[in-house]
Amino acid sequence: MKYINSKVETINFDDFEIFLKRDDLLDADFSGNKARKFYYYLVNEFPGIEKIIGHGSAQSNTLYSFSVLAKLKSWDLDFYVDHIPSFLKEDPVGNYKAALNNGAKIIPIRELAEDTNTLDYIKKSILPYEKKVLFVPEGGHCMEAEFGIKILAAEIKEWAIKHKKINLKIVLPSGTGTTALFLQKNLKDFEVLTCACVGGDEYLKKLFFELNPNENEHPLILKSSKKHHFGKLYKEFYLMYDELLKQTKIEFDLLYDPLAWLCLKEYLSNYSKDNHPSILYIHQGGLLGNETMKPRYLRKYDFKDDLS
């Protein structure tokens, strides 16, 4: 199983040459930014640990990655969610189905305690009474994530030196911002550009400070010309997804990548096709989530499934 040294490809997008770090191809089951963030837990020993506890959405990439990690480490997985949508219960698909197949126990908090959020419930009602467990914050937003992301940074630096890319910009979307933050900390010679997919720019800055108080080591947050709400279906997101597929023959995630590419497109509009910074975009995987996202887009906007 190969969890490091993903290849870099050259693609053309709107006639701009873009370098693409294919972290989505690290492994069929354990790939993308979650493989990097959870690499610490994979390669280190945890004597006495029998279960991993996590939380997030019932359709999240984190859920599936945790289920793979737990299976590889022979741990149980208890994954707490606010609720499980009825359509998922009736017809499991995507990350939810794959996690169940890996033996994950997915627990909806709303059925246990209506007036509490998931994290509070775990801290107050679960962790004090559980033994031999490992708790990982939502999305891997923790210091342990730097272990794997530091390896990613080293790979990027080695590639940049080999190919003489001096003015290199590394681009990726952010949820918790953990990957972008630790990349910038470990890539001092290059600039990391990201965008806030969850909660807006100020929320993302807050998350940066939680893990690193040194603002000089924070990534640059690209501004979007339009405010977007996480998880909402935007026509321009699907059109960007489809345009990327047409131009590059590579599928990207429908939840995070469209906003990042829209922001990157706006950023590149300040440059000419022949004179722009070298861009390395990190493909962070998460394609299993498209199994639920794509049908929602097709229904909402009456797109044809053969757009691409």
Q: Quick check: 234 pLDDT over 90? A: yes
Band of pLDDT at residue 112, cut at 50, 70 and 90: confident
Domain definitions of the chain by residue range: 8-33+143-301, 50-131
CA distance readout (Å), 271 to 12, 15, 217, 281: 15, 12, 25, 17
Tell me what pLDDT residue 308 has: 46
Using an 8 Å Cβ cutoff, are 62 and 70 in contact? Answer: no
CATH architecture classification, 8-33+143-301: 3-Layer(aba) Sandwich (3.40)
- CA atoms of 273 and 12, how far apart (whole Å): 11
Q: Quick check: 303 pLDDT over 80? A: no
Tell me what pLDDT residue 2 has: 64
Render 28-82 in DSSP notation, one character per residue. Answer: SSS-HHHHHHTHHHHHS--TT--EEEEEE-TT-HHHHHHHHHHHHHT-EEEEEES
- CA atoms of 33 and 124, how far apart (whole Å): 29
Using an 8 Å Cβ cutoff, are 230 and 199 in contact? Answer: yes
The tokens for 94 are 């995507």
Percent of the chain scoring above 90 in pLDDT: 87
Report the chain's C-alpha Rg in angstroms: 19
Alpha-helical segments (H) within the chain: 32-37, 39-43, 61-73, 86-90, 94-101, 118-121, 146-162, 178-186, 200-211, 235-248, 257-268, 290-301
Band of pLDDT at residue 174, cut at 50, 70 and 90: very high
Q: Quick check: 77 pLDDT over 60? A: yes
Band of pLDDT at residue 225, cut at 50, 70 and 90: confident
Percent of the chain scoring above 70 in pLDDT: 98
Tell me what pLDDT residue 305 has: 66
Tell me what pLDDT residue 15 has: 93
Band of pLDDT at residue 69, cut at 50, 70 and 90: very high
Average pLDDT over residues 67-77: 96
Average pLDDT over residues 214-237: 94
Of the given ranges (1-5, 12-16, 173-177, 194-198), which has the lowest mean pLDDT?
1-5
CATH class held by domain 50-131: alpha beta
Render 182-199 in DSSP notation, one character per residue. Answer: HHHHH-TTSEEEEEE-SS
Average pLDDT over residues 147-155: 97
Mean pLDDT of the chain: 94
Of the given ranges (116-125, 152-161, 215-224, 299-308), which has the lowest mean pLDDT?
299-308
Band of pLDDT at residue 306, cut at 50, 70 and 90: low
Tell me what pLDDT residue 274 has: 86
Average pLDDT over residues 239-266: 97
Average pLDDT over residues 103-125: 90
